[in-house]
Amino acid sequence: MNTPNKDQLSKFAAELDNLRNTVIDQLGEKDARYIIRLIAIQRSLDLCGRIAIAIAFLAFSGTLAWLIAALGILLLSSSKILDNMEIGHNVMHGQYDWMNHPTINSRVFDWDNAGHNESWKRYHNHEHHTYTNVLGKDRDFGYGLLRLSNDLPWKPKNLWQFFTFINLSALFEWGVAYHELAGERVFFGKKKEDSNLPISDQQLKKDFFGKAGKQLFKDYVFFPLICWPVALQILICNVIANVIRNIWTGTIIFCGHFTEGAHTFSEDSIKNETRGDWYYRQILGSSNISGGKFFHIMSGHLSCQIEHHLFPDVPSSYYRQLSPKIAELCSTYDIPYNTGRFSKQYFEVVKRILYYSLPEKWQPAYG
């Protein structure tokens, strides 16, 4: 792979800046209607899903009850996916702050997720998006659980990291909540020497348990109890809906970050980094997933992970329009643009997890 020189990267950055500015200049009522309408759809799905699940067991029995409940679970999990991906994730990135809306803004918006919004913004928005795939700086690379590069030391626990990946996928909201809290530092004192958290451990714990308690109470106490005769069935359905949401969101995020073609970087490599260098690193560290309009919406447009990492504060609904233009720019400057079908990207993620589960001396030839 040829690395563009500084002059080329400077021109590349200028062209990307121009693309971003073109989108920002045209933001307006159409975009505001989009997110407001999407939130209305998400809330309707949530309400209809919960009503369908309750009616299924209160008014029916046997196979028919579970068939109706399955429809309710589908609606409820879809609501949670929309809330977390196309709405919550993007609103908390500041993509709609220009609206000056009292609730649809990154300062106050909260999502249907175990992760505390402020903890997530602190680590994801700043740390991950600033230091994408920089080992030792980006804690989102492998989430502290998976070894995905030989630049990271091998540990015996890595042998079963495929099963760790499966568990993380099913419990993704909780894994991310604990991770963004910096749980090992807060609960077990494993702090970096250069750690300088802008918030106390006590406040982090309070935020974590407060949000976790709210989520547990809502889905596993409140809604089951208001349908007391069938509380257990409601509880089971809520668990299933949350697991479906977790698997979907986790899978999309992994396919956008940990395919075979996603590069890693050392801390030394980003010293004196220019904007062109930063753009270049974002592209090399990200992967796209091809698909239709519905797929992109349900993925929060994180299927366009390259565009999201280049322009995290640009409304995600523009990423599909930007994608071919950025791919063309990358071709002009001989920069790899990693995209592929969902099946291809997911296979590469699994392959990478299995490959780096072994110590380097045991690894077969990669390819």
Confidence of residue 332 (pLDDT cuts 50, 70, 90): very high
Residue with the larger pLDDT of the pair 207 and 101:
101
Q: Are residues 157 and 58 in the same domain?
A: no
Q: How far apart are the C-alpha atoms of 172 and 272, rounded to whole Å?
A: 35
Residue 224 covered by a domain: no
pLDDT at 119: 83
* End residue of a domain, out of 87, 112, 137: 112
pLDDT of residue 188 exceeding 60: no
pLDDT at 367: 58
Q: Are residues 254 and 179 in the same domain?
A: yes
* End residue of a domain, out of 112, 142, 171: 112
Mean of all residue pLDDT scores within the chain: 93
- Percent of the chain at pLDDT above 90? 84
pLDDT at 126: 85
- List the single range of 43-47, 57-61, 206-210 with lowest mean pLDDT: 206-210
Q: Specify the pTM.
A: 0.94
Residue 105 covered by a domain: yes
Residue 39 covered by a domain: yes
pLDDT of residue 366 exceeding 70: no
Q: In this predicted model, what pLDDT tens digit does every residue of 29-39 receive, in sequence order?
A: 999 999 999 99
Q: Are residues 266 and 178 in the same domain?
A: yes
Confidence of residue 185 (pLDDT cuts 50, 70, 90): low
Q: Are residues 135 and 270 in the same domain?
A: yes
Domain that holds residue 301: 6-26+122-192+250-362
Residue 276 covered by a domain: yes
Residue 213 covered by a domain: no
Q: In this predicted model, what pLDDT tens digit does every residue of 257-316 receive, in sequence order?
A: 999 999 999 999 999 999 999 999 999 999 999 999 999 999 999 999 999 999 999 999
Q: Tokens for 293, please give them.
A: 């309009």
- The mean per-residue pLDDT over the stretch 95-113 comes to 96
- The mean per-residue pLDDT over the stretch 148-153 comes to 95
Q: Are residues 14 and 155 in the same domain?
A: yes
pLDDT of residue 204 exceeding 90: no
pLDDT at 118: 87
Confidence of residue 144 (pLDDT cuts 50, 70, 90): confident
Residue with the larger pLDDT of the pair 205 and 222:
222
Q: Are residues 50 and 134 in the same domain?
A: no
Structural domains counted in the chain: 2
Comparing CA positions, the residue from 209, 212, 215 lying closest to residue 238 is 215
pLDDT at 74: 98
Residue 202 covered by a domain: no
pLDDT of residue 1 exceeding 90: no
Q: Are residues 182 and 279 in the same domain?
A: yes
Query: What sections of the chain are H helices per DSSP?
Result: 6-26, 29-59, 62-82, 90-91, 117-120, 129-130, 161-170, 172-180, 183-188, 201-217, 223-225, 231-257, 275-284, 293-298, 305-310, 319-332, 342-355
Residue 66 covered by a domain: yes
- List the single range of 163-172, 205-214, 287-296, 314-323 with lowest mean pLDDT: 205-214
pLDDT at 186: 56
pLDDT at 178: 85
Residue with the larger pLDDT of the pair 140 and 305:
305
- The mean per-residue pLDDT over the stretch 227-249 comes to 97
Confidence of residue 198 (pLDDT cuts 50, 70, 90): low
Comparing CA positions, the residue from 291, 238, 283 lying closest to residue 265 is 283
* End residue of a domain, out of 82, 112, 142: 112
Q: How far apart are the C-alpha atoms of 132 and 309, rounded to whole Å?
A: 8
Q: How far apart are the C-alpha atoms of 285 and 281, rounded to whole Å?
A: 6
Q: How far apart are the C-alpha atoms of 73 and 95, rounded to whole Å?
A: 29
The values of phi and psi at residue 289, to 5°, are: -125, 125
Q: Are residues 145 and 45 in the same domain?
A: no
pLDDT at 256: 97
Q: Are residues 21 and 84 in the same domain?
A: no
Q: Are residues 16 and 35 in the same domain?
A: no
Q: Are residues 150 and 272 in the same domain?
A: yes
Q: Are residues 88 and 38 in the same domain?
A: yes
pLDDT at 193: 56
pLDDT at 196: 60
pLDDT of residue 200 exceeding 90: no
